[in-house]
């Protein structure tokens, strides 16, 4: 593997910087995390070799040459493959001095009461909060609130059935899955808890006013950013992470899919229908997703607002991410998530939902992440039986009947507000189901070696 990384650094590439100055500046700005990183080489995970297998969906393989020819987009994706979260990373780098619990507590207080409420707040925390409080020039908070109101219906009815399938997709590649494996997310209990934390974050951001400065979604985004930076800092400080193979742990380019999966799927539907622009309602949903990702620390370069731009960034990442499913890492995460208990409660209704969720999550995963190829899905351990198919069909009817009902209620002036209040109540119940999300990471539970 080391030889491959060395071969990538050919003489022509060595004459010019591989990465933009802001990427290379991480080394001097945060030496505790990036001091040992060689920014003159490409990691093994990144490939533009036409002969290499990459994560591009089968239906898009024919477009790889076109994607690789777009130098601007390639430069963006290559740079963010080696970019962490400079602001949150600087704060997480204070762990040896303050301890991780104190860092979390100070961030909690700053989110709840403002930075001035934190006695002797370190400059890194002040910069962190200031970066989140900054408003991008494109931001329209009224549009964000509209997007949240629109999203509530689909989210509250569909998410419990697709959360497992979407979560599985995040660790199907060994290069992007390893940080999660190292943090100990390999048992049934921890897999369910991580999935619930993911669901809790996105659910909290859909509550009314959640992404305002003192909203619950704003605070959740700050804590997710700190969690990612703590993972990054702990892994890099361990001395066991091979940057030449894996690049930076949890780079910005890997956070983009998690934050924009719904937006990408919507963009694909728009383009497949022959349109090139979003409708006003779709545009509101895009604004919500973009601002949520902005709060999570994603750079604006990765936050396109057009269907074609969203598709291009997503596919270019896939076209440069070397494909490799590693049974020891990816397989263990997959098995733990597939076996995890994701539906709580007792009784006939809970049992029916549990049965439907099992089948529907498999269908969602196969259709959206395996290109509908059930043989391919079976090769990585996700098999869909006739029993699962029946469960998925029942789930489709169950979910879509409720979505259609609330869509109809939202279209009527007399019932619109009542329906939205009901959806907010359902979101609150969903958050109770997920339980309290700490969004913290304990380095003592990491696997000892790679």
- Give the pLDDT confidence score for residue 334 in this predicted structure: 80
Q: Looking at the DSSP assignment, which residues form a beta bridge with residue 322?
A: 54
d(CA 77, CA 329) in angstroms, rounded, equals: 25
pLDDT at 67 over 90: yes
Question: Per-residue confidence at 185, pLDDT binned at 50, 70, 90?
Answer: low
In a domain, 354, yes or no: no
- What is the reported pLDDT for 17? 83
**Mean pLDDT to the nearest integer, 22-39:** 95
Q: Phi/psi of residue 54, each to 5°?
A: -125, 175
Asked if 87 contacts 128 with a C-beta cutoff of 8 angstroms, the reply is yes
Scanning 16-70, the segments in alpha helix (DSSP H) are: 21-24, 26-29, 31-34, 64-68
Q: Quick check: 450 pLDDT over 60?
A: no
pLDDT at 12: 43
Q: Are 314 and 257 in contact (CB under 8 A)?
A: yes
Judge whether 198 lies within some domain: yes
pLDDT mean over 182-197: 69
Contact 50, 65 (CB under 8 A): yes
Residue 46: strand pairing partners: 321
CA gap 298, 301 in Å, rounded:
8
Q: Does 402 map to a domain?
A: no
pLDDT value at residue 437:
59
Q: What is the pLDDT of residues 269-291, one digit of tens each?
A: 999 999 999 999 999 999 999 99
Q: How many domains does the structure of the chain reveal?
A: 1
Look at residue 28 and tell me whether its pLDDT is greater than 90.
Answer: yes
Q: Summarize the confidence of residues 71-79 as an average pLDDT.
A: 96
| Paired tokens of 288 | 């919500």
Question: Closest Cα partner for 56 from 405, 396, 289, 371?
Answer: 371
- From residue 80, alpha-carbon distances to 56, 174, 176, 247, 340 in Å are 18, 18, 13, 10, 33
> Quick one: pLDDT at residue 187?
56
**Within a domain: residue 267?**
yes
Residue 141 covered by a domain: yes
CA distance 268 to 312: 11
72 to each of 20, 77, 247, 319, 366, how far by Cα in Å? 12, 9, 20, 14, 32
Which tokens in the block code for residue 36?
């040992």
* pLDDT class of 320 with cuts at 50, 70, 90: very high
Reported as a single tens digit per residue, the pLDDT across 395-424 is 999 999 999 999 999 999 999 999 999 999
Q: Can you read off the two tokens belonging to residue 388? A: 């699962």
What is the gyration radius of the CA atoms in the chain, in angstroms?
A: 22
* pLDDT band (50, 70, 90) for residue 211: very high
User: Residue 46: helix, strand or coil by DSSP?
Assistant: strand
Return mean pLDDT, the chain.
Answer: 88
Report the C-alpha gap between 381 and 378 in whole angstroms. Answer: 5
109 contact partners, CB below 8 Å, separation of at least 6: 117, 118
pLDDT of 445 higher than 90: no
Residue 208 has pLDDT above 90, yes or no: yes
Q: What residue numbers bound the domain in which 113 lies? A: 87-342
Nearest to 206 by CA among 376, 436, 423, 47: 423
In a domain, 31, yes or no: no
Within a domain: residue 180? yes
Q: pLDDT tens across 121-161, in order? A: 999 999 999 999 999 999 999 999 999 999 999 999 999 88
Look at residue 64 in the predicted model and tell me its pLDDT. Answer: 96
Q: What is the mean pLDDT of residues 157-173?
A: 84
Stronger pLDDT, 192 or 80, i.e. the higher one: 80
**Residue 313 token pair:** 């960034």
Identify the band that residue 344 occupies on the pLDDT scale cut at 50, 70 and 90: confident
For the segment 86-96, the average pLDDT, to the nearest whole number, is 96
Q: Looking at the domain assignment, is residue 410 inside a domain?
A: no
Res 435: pLDDT = 78
Q: What is the SS3 assignment for 322?
A: strand
Q: What is the pLDDT of residue 184?
A: 60
């Amino acid at each position: 593997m080391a030889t491959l990384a060395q071969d990538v650094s050919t003489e022509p590439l060595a004459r010019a910087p591989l990465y933009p100055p802001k990427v290379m500046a991480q080394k001097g700005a945060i030496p505790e995390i990036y001091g040992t990183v060689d920014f003159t080489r490409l990691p093994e995970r990144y490939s533009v070799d036409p002969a290499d297998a990459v994560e591009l969906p089968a239906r898009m393989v024919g477009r790889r040459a076109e994607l690789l020819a777009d130098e601007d987009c390639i430069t963006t994706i290559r740079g963010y493959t080696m970019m962490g979260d400079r602001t949150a990373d600087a704060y997480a780098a204070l762990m040896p001095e303050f301890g991780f619990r104190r860092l979390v507590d100070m961030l909690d207080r700053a989110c709840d009461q403002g930075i001035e409420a934190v006695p002797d707040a370190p400059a890194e925390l002040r910069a962190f909060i200031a970066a989140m409080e900054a408003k991008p020039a494109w931001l329209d908070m009224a549009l964000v609130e509209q997007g949240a109101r629109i999203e509530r219906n689909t989210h509250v009815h569909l998410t419990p059935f697709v959360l497992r399938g979407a979560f599985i997709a995040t660790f199907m590649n060994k290069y992007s899955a390893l940080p999660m494996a190292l943090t100990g997310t390999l048992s049934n209990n921890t897999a369910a808890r991580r999935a619930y934390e993911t669901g809790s974050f996105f659910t909290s951001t859909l509550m009314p006013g959640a992404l305002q400065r003192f909203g619950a979604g704003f605070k959740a985004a700050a804590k997710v950013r700190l969690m990612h930076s703590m993972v990054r800092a702990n892994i890099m400080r361990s001395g066991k992470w091979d940057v030449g193979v894996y690049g930076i742990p949890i780079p910005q380019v890997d956070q983009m899919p998690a934050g924009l999966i719904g937006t990408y799927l919507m963009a694909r539907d728009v383009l497949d229908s022959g349109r090139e622009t979003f409708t006003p309602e779709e545009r509101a949903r895009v604004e919500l997703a973009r601002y949520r990702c902005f709060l999570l620390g994603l750079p604006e370069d990765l936050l396109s607002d057009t269907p074609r731009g969203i598709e291009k960034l997503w596919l270019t990442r896939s076209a440069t991410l070397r494909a490799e499913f590693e049974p020891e890492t990816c397989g263990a995460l997959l098995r733990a998530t597939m076996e995890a208990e994701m539906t709580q409660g007792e009784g006939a209704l809970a049992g029916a939902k549990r049965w439907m969720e099992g089948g529907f999550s498999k269908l969602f995963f196969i259709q959206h992440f395996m290109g509908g190829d059930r043989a391919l899905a079976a090769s990585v351990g996700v098999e869909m039986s006739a029993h699962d198919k029946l469960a998925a069909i029942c789930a489709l009817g169950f979910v879509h009947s409720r979505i259609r009902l609330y869509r109809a209620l939202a279209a009527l002036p007399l019932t619109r507000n009542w329906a939205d209040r009901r959806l907010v109540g359902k979101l609150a119940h969903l958050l109770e189901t997920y339980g309290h999300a700490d969004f913290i990471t304990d380095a003592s539970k990491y696997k000892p070696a790679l």
